[in-house]
A and B are shown apart, each in its own frame.
Chain A
Amino acid sequence: MTPSRTKFYLDKQNKKFLGVCSGISDYTGVDATVIRIGLLLAIFMSGGTFLPVYFITAWMAPKKPTELRYEDKEEKKFWQGVRSNPKRAARHVRSRFREIDRRLADVETYVTSSHGRLAREIDSLR
Protein backbone atom coordinates (compact mmCIF):
# COMPACT_ATOMS: atom_id res chain seq x y z
CA MET A 1 0.00 0.00 0.00
CA THR A 2 1.43 3.33 -0.98
CA PRO A 3 1.71 5.96 1.70
CA SER A 4 -0.71 8.85 1.75
CA ARG A 5 0.07 11.64 -0.62
CA THR A 6 -1.91 14.28 1.19
CA LYS A 7 -0.04 14.21 4.48
CA PHE A 8 2.66 16.54 5.65
CA TYR A 9 6.13 15.03 5.69
CA LEU A 10 9.59 16.25 6.53
CA ASP A 11 11.60 16.39 3.37
CA LYS A 12 14.97 15.12 4.48
CA GLN A 13 16.40 15.05 1.00
CA ASN A 14 16.28 18.78 0.45
CA LYS A 15 16.76 19.81 4.04
CA LYS A 16 18.86 22.65 5.32
CA PHE A 17 18.42 21.95 9.01
CA LEU A 18 15.68 19.52 9.97
CA GLY A 19 13.67 19.40 6.81
CA VAL A 20 10.60 21.31 8.02
CA CYS A 21 10.85 24.16 5.54
CA SER A 22 11.63 21.87 2.64
CA GLY A 23 8.71 19.73 3.77
CA ILE A 24 6.40 22.74 3.69
CA SER A 25 7.79 23.61 0.29
CA ASP A 26 7.19 20.08 -0.94
CA TYR A 27 3.69 20.14 0.49
CA THR A 28 2.56 23.49 -0.83
CA GLY A 29 4.77 24.06 -3.85
CA VAL A 30 6.06 27.39 -2.53
CA ASP A 31 9.78 27.84 -3.01
CA ALA A 32 11.76 26.57 -0.02
CA THR A 33 13.93 29.66 0.19
CA VAL A 34 10.88 31.90 0.57
CA ILE A 35 9.61 29.71 3.39
CA ARG A 36 12.98 29.71 5.12
CA ILE A 37 13.23 33.48 4.97
CA GLY A 38 9.66 33.75 6.18
CA LEU A 39 10.40 31.46 9.09
CA LEU A 40 13.52 33.41 10.05
CA LEU A 41 11.54 36.64 9.89
CA ALA A 42 8.83 35.10 12.05
CA ILE A 43 11.41 33.97 14.60
CA PHE A 44 12.99 37.41 14.77
CA MET A 45 9.68 39.23 14.90
CA SER A 46 8.34 37.01 17.63
CA GLY A 47 11.54 37.29 19.60
CA GLY A 48 12.27 33.60 19.51
CA THR A 49 8.92 32.26 20.67
CA PHE A 50 8.38 30.85 17.21
CA LEU A 51 11.48 28.73 17.47
CA PRO A 52 9.89 25.88 19.51
CA VAL A 53 7.18 25.59 16.88
CA TYR A 54 9.84 24.61 14.40
CA PHE A 55 11.29 21.95 16.65
CA ILE A 56 7.92 20.61 17.67
CA THR A 57 7.00 20.30 14.01
CA ALA A 58 10.24 18.55 13.27
CA TRP A 59 9.62 16.18 16.15
CA MET A 60 5.99 15.44 15.38
CA ALA A 61 5.93 15.19 11.61
CA PRO A 62 6.94 11.89 10.04
CA LYS A 63 9.72 11.61 7.54
CA LYS A 64 8.79 11.39 3.93
CA PRO A 65 8.56 7.70 3.01
CA THR A 66 10.96 6.62 0.33
CA GLU A 67 8.22 4.85 -1.62
CA LEU A 68 6.52 8.17 -2.08
CA ARG A 69 8.26 9.43 -5.13
CA TYR A 70 6.74 11.40 -7.93
CA GLU A 71 7.60 10.44 -11.43
CA ASP A 72 8.01 13.95 -12.66
CA LYS A 73 7.38 17.60 -11.90
CA GLU A 74 3.92 17.47 -13.37
CA GLU A 75 2.77 14.78 -10.98
CA LYS A 76 4.28 16.59 -8.03
CA LYS A 77 2.48 19.73 -9.01
CA PHE A 78 -0.75 17.84 -9.45
CA TRP A 79 -0.57 16.49 -5.92
CA GLN A 80 0.27 19.91 -4.54
CA GLY A 81 -2.90 21.06 -6.23
CA VAL A 82 -4.83 18.18 -4.71
CA ARG A 83 -3.63 19.12 -1.25
CA SER A 84 -4.60 22.74 -1.57
CA ASN A 85 -7.88 22.15 -3.39
CA PRO A 86 -9.03 18.61 -4.19
CA LYS A 87 -12.13 19.80 -5.97
CA ARG A 88 -10.20 21.92 -8.38
CA ALA A 89 -7.74 19.11 -9.02
CA ALA A 90 -10.60 16.75 -9.81
CA ARG A 91 -12.09 19.33 -12.15
CA HIS A 92 -8.72 19.67 -13.80
CA VAL A 93 -8.60 15.93 -14.47
CA ARG A 94 -12.11 16.08 -15.84
CA SER A 95 -11.17 18.92 -18.15
CA ARG A 96 -8.25 16.88 -19.41
CA PHE A 97 -10.55 14.01 -20.24
CA ARG A 98 -12.89 16.41 -22.02
CA GLU A 99 -10.01 17.81 -23.99
CA ILE A 100 -8.98 14.32 -25.07
CA ASP A 101 -12.56 13.58 -25.98
CA ARG A 102 -12.75 16.70 -28.10
CA ARG A 103 -9.51 15.95 -29.90
CA LEU A 104 -10.53 12.38 -30.53
CA ALA A 105 -13.84 13.62 -31.92
CA ASP A 106 -11.90 15.93 -34.22
CA VAL A 107 -9.85 13.04 -35.53
CA GLU A 108 -12.96 10.94 -35.93
CA THR A 109 -14.80 13.61 -37.88
CA TYR A 110 -11.83 14.12 -40.11
CA VAL A 111 -11.37 10.44 -40.80
CA THR A 112 -15.05 9.73 -41.39
CA SER A 113 -15.85 12.83 -43.39
CA SER A 114 -12.88 12.64 -45.71
CA HIS A 115 -12.51 9.70 -48.02
CA GLY A 116 -9.17 9.25 -46.51
CA ARG A 117 -6.04 7.80 -47.86
CA LEU A 118 -7.67 5.31 -50.20
CA ALA A 119 -9.58 7.98 -52.07
CA ARG A 120 -6.45 10.03 -52.41
CA GLU A 121 -4.55 7.11 -53.81
CA ILE A 122 -7.29 6.35 -56.31
CA ASP A 123 -7.22 10.00 -57.25
CA SER A 124 -3.54 9.96 -57.88
CA LEU A 125 -3.89 6.92 -60.13
CA ARG A 126 -6.26 8.77 -62.40
Chain B
Amino acid sequence: MLELLVPILIMGILFIGLPWIIFHYVTKWKTAATLTREDEDLLDELHDLARRLDERMCSIERIMQADNPNWRQLGCDPASLGAGDLGLGRDREAAGRDPLARDYGGSVQPLRSNQPDRRY
Protein backbone atom coordinates (compact mmCIF):
# COMPACT_ATOMS: atom_id res chain seq x y z
CA MET B 1 0.00 0.00 0.00
CA LEU B 2 2.75 2.38 1.04
CA GLU B 3 4.91 1.44 -1.92
CA LEU B 4 2.07 2.44 -4.21
CA LEU B 5 1.28 5.67 -2.45
CA VAL B 6 4.76 7.12 -2.20
CA PRO B 7 5.52 7.30 -5.96
CA ILE B 8 2.13 8.82 -6.64
CA LEU B 9 2.73 11.39 -3.96
CA ILE B 10 6.19 12.21 -5.25
CA MET B 11 4.95 12.45 -8.84
CA GLY B 12 2.17 14.71 -7.67
CA ILE B 13 4.55 17.00 -5.86
CA LEU B 14 7.15 16.98 -8.61
CA PHE B 15 4.92 17.50 -11.62
CA ILE B 16 1.99 19.43 -10.22
CA GLY B 17 2.99 21.07 -6.97
CA LEU B 18 6.35 22.40 -7.99
CA PRO B 19 5.37 23.93 -11.37
CA TRP B 20 2.31 25.32 -9.67
CA ILE B 21 4.39 27.16 -7.13
CA ILE B 22 6.86 28.33 -9.76
CA PHE B 23 4.22 29.62 -12.14
CA HIS B 24 2.32 31.17 -9.30
CA TYR B 25 5.31 33.27 -8.42
CA VAL B 26 6.19 33.93 -12.06
CA THR B 27 2.76 35.39 -12.74
CA LYS B 28 2.89 37.32 -9.51
CA TRP B 29 6.27 38.71 -10.46
CA LYS B 30 5.04 39.61 -13.93
CA THR B 31 1.98 41.46 -12.75
CA ALA B 32 3.98 43.40 -10.19
CA ALA B 33 4.50 47.03 -11.02
CA THR B 34 7.36 47.33 -13.45
CA LEU B 35 8.83 50.22 -15.29
CA THR B 36 7.60 50.51 -18.83
CA ARG B 37 9.84 51.83 -21.52
CA GLU B 38 8.13 55.19 -21.38
CA ASP B 39 8.72 55.40 -17.65
CA GLU B 40 12.30 54.50 -18.17
CA ASP B 41 12.86 57.13 -20.82
CA LEU B 42 11.03 59.71 -18.75
CA LEU B 43 13.15 58.92 -15.72
CA ASP B 44 16.30 59.11 -17.80
CA GLU B 45 15.32 62.47 -19.17
CA LEU B 46 14.39 63.84 -15.77
CA HIS B 47 17.62 62.63 -14.28
CA ASP B 48 19.59 64.21 -17.09
CA LEU B 49 17.63 67.43 -16.74
CA ALA B 50 18.24 67.53 -13.01
CA ARG B 51 21.94 67.11 -13.57
CA ARG B 52 22.09 69.85 -16.18
CA LEU B 53 20.07 72.22 -14.03
CA ASP B 54 22.35 71.39 -11.15
CA GLU B 55 25.36 72.35 -13.21
CA ARG B 56 23.74 75.58 -14.33
CA MET B 57 22.82 76.36 -10.78
CA CYS B 58 26.40 75.79 -9.77
CA SER B 59 27.74 78.19 -12.36
CA ILE B 60 25.19 80.79 -11.31
CA GLU B 61 26.26 80.35 -7.72
CA ARG B 62 29.85 80.72 -8.74
CA ILE B 63 29.04 83.96 -10.53
CA MET B 64 27.14 85.14 -7.49
CA GLN B 65 30.12 84.27 -5.34
CA ALA B 66 32.43 86.22 -7.59
CA ASP B 67 30.20 89.27 -7.88
CA ASN B 68 28.89 89.52 -4.37
CA PRO B 69 31.45 89.35 -1.60
CA ASN B 70 28.90 88.55 1.03
CA TRP B 71 27.16 85.84 -0.86
CA ARG B 72 27.82 83.01 1.54
CA GLN B 73 26.22 79.98 0.02
CA LEU B 74 28.22 77.17 -1.48
CA GLY B 75 25.53 74.86 -2.65
CA CYS B 76 27.49 72.72 -5.01
CA ASP B 77 29.86 70.13 -3.80
CA PRO B 78 33.05 70.17 -5.84
CA ALA B 79 32.85 66.59 -7.07
CA SER B 80 29.52 66.92 -8.83
CA LEU B 81 30.32 70.13 -10.62
CA GLY B 82 30.56 70.18 -14.36
CA ALA B 83 34.24 69.50 -14.16
CA GLY B 84 34.67 68.97 -17.87
CA ASP B 85 33.90 72.46 -19.06
CA LEU B 86 36.49 74.01 -16.83
CA GLY B 87 39.07 71.28 -16.98
CA LEU B 88 39.56 71.59 -13.28
CA GLY B 89 38.25 68.24 -12.22
CA ARG B 90 41.54 67.03 -10.81
CA ASP B 91 42.37 70.14 -8.86
CA ARG B 92 38.96 70.32 -7.30
CA GLU B 93 39.64 67.80 -4.65
CA ALA B 94 42.80 69.61 -3.74
CA ALA B 95 40.94 72.89 -3.58
CA GLY B 96 38.97 71.39 -0.75
CA ARG B 97 36.68 73.70 1.12
CA ASP B 98 36.64 76.60 -1.26
CA PRO B 99 36.79 75.48 -4.86
CA LEU B 100 35.64 78.85 -6.06
CA ALA B 101 38.71 80.63 -4.89
CA ARG B 102 40.60 78.44 -7.23
CA ASP B 103 38.17 78.62 -10.13
CA TYR B 104 38.21 82.32 -10.31
CA GLY B 105 41.83 82.58 -9.52
CA GLY B 106 43.56 85.91 -9.45
CA SER B 107 41.30 87.79 -11.83
CA VAL B 108 38.50 88.18 -9.37
CA GLN B 109 40.46 88.30 -6.18
CA PRO B 110 41.41 92.01 -6.34
CA LEU B 111 37.84 92.93 -7.20
CA ARG B 112 36.69 91.07 -4.17
CA SER B 113 39.06 92.81 -1.85
CA ASN B 114 38.28 96.23 -3.28
CA GLN B 115 34.62 95.94 -2.53
CA PRO B 116 33.53 97.02 0.88
CA ASP B 117 32.01 94.14 2.71
CA ARG B 118 28.53 95.42 3.07
CA ARG B 119 25.16 93.83 3.33
CA TYR B 120 22.22 95.43 1.64
- Beta-carbon nearest neighbor of B50 in chain A: A96
Q: Provide the main secondary structure of the chain B interface.
A: helix
Find chain A residues with CB under 8 A from B115 CB. Answer: 120, 124
Closest chain-B Cβ to A67's Cβ sits at a distance in Å of 13
Of the four ranges (under 10, 10 to 19, 20 to 34, 35 or more), the interface on chain A belongs to 20 to 34
Which residues of B, 58-109, contact A by the 8 Å Cβ criterion?
A: 60-61, 64, 67-68, 71, 73, 75, 80
Q: CA A99 – CA B116 in complex, angstroms?
A: 31
Q: Report whether B50 and A113 are in contact in the complex, using a CB–CB cutoff of 8 Å.
A: no
Q: Report whether B40 and A110 are in contact in the complex, using a CB–CB cutoff of 8 Å.
A: no
Closest chain-A Cβ to B45's Cβ sits at a distance in Å of 10
Closest chain-B Cβ to A62's Cβ sits at a distance in Å of 16
- Beta-carbon nearest neighbor of A83 in chain B: B35
Pick from A86, A104, A119: contact of B120, CB under 8 Å? A119
Q: A6-B40, A100-B57, A120-B118 are in contact. Are A106 and B73 (CB under 8 A)?
A: yes
- Beta-carbon nearest neighbor of B63 in chain A: A107
Binding site for B on A (CB under 8 A): 2, 4-6, 74-75, 78, 82, 86, 89-90, 93, 96-97, 99-100, 103-104, 106-107, 110, 113-117, 119-120, 123-124
Q: CA A75 – CA B67 in complex, angstroms?
A: 33
Of the four ranges (under 10, 10 to 19, 20 to 34, 35 or more), the interface on chain B belongs to 20 to 34
Closest chain-B Cβ to A4's Cβ sits at a distance in Å of 7
- Beta-carbon nearest neighbor of B76 in chain A: A103
Find chain A residues with CB under 8 A from B57 CB. Answer: 100, 103-104
Binding site for A on B (CB under 8 A): 34-35, 37, 39-41, 43-44, 46-47, 50-51, 53-54, 57, 60-61, 64, 67-68, 71, 73, 75, 80, 115-116, 118-120
Q: Report whether A82 and B50 are in contact in the complex, using a CB–CB cutoff of 8 Å.
A: no
Find chain A residues with CB under 8 A from B119 CB. Answer: 114
Find chain A residues with CB under 8 A from B120 CB. Answer: 113-116, 119-120
Find chain A residues with CB under 8 A from B35 CB. Answer: 6, 82, 86
Q: CA A2 – CA B64 in complex, angstroms?
A: 39
Find chain B residues with CB under 8 A from A100 CB. Answer: 50, 53-54, 57
Find chain B residues with CB under 8 A from A82 CB. Answer: 35, 40, 43
